[in-house]
Amino acid sequence: MATTAPDIAAHWSLDKRVPIALIATVVLQTFLAGWFVSALVARLEEAEKKIEAVTPYANRLTILETKLEGMSDILKDIRSDLRRDRQSSAASPDQGRVRVLPR
């Protein structure tokens, strides 16, 4: 009479023919897998703490970038105004000169 898979699983037992080295290897691998996972969890928690610490600075950086873009636009306008004034002063030399008033 042949035994089926469920019968074998129900009557599973450890036999003396299983080498101790195999049992030790399985136990060691299980221990090391748990150790590895706990190390990963610790690294993840550390990374989350660093991200939380940097988040306020990221918001400030975004605000500064926005302000810097606005200042860059203003600077471009000033440069274009200076170039236009320089070109108009080259066309008529008296118009572009600055008069110094006495005190």
The structure tokens 């706990």 sit at 38
The pLDDT value recorded for residue 93 is 59
- Dihedral angle computed from the Cα positions of residues 81, 82, 85 and 87, in that order, rounded to the nearest 10 degrees: -110
pTM recorded for the entire structure:
0.46
Read off the pLDDT of residues 13-62 as tens digits, 9 standing for 90 and up: 777 888 899 999 999 999 999 999 999 999 999 999 999 998 888 889 99
Read off the pLDDT of residues 6-26 as tens digits, 9 standing for 90 and up: 666 667 777 788 889 999 999
Domain boundaries, the chain: 19-87
| The pLDDT of residue 88 is above 90 | no
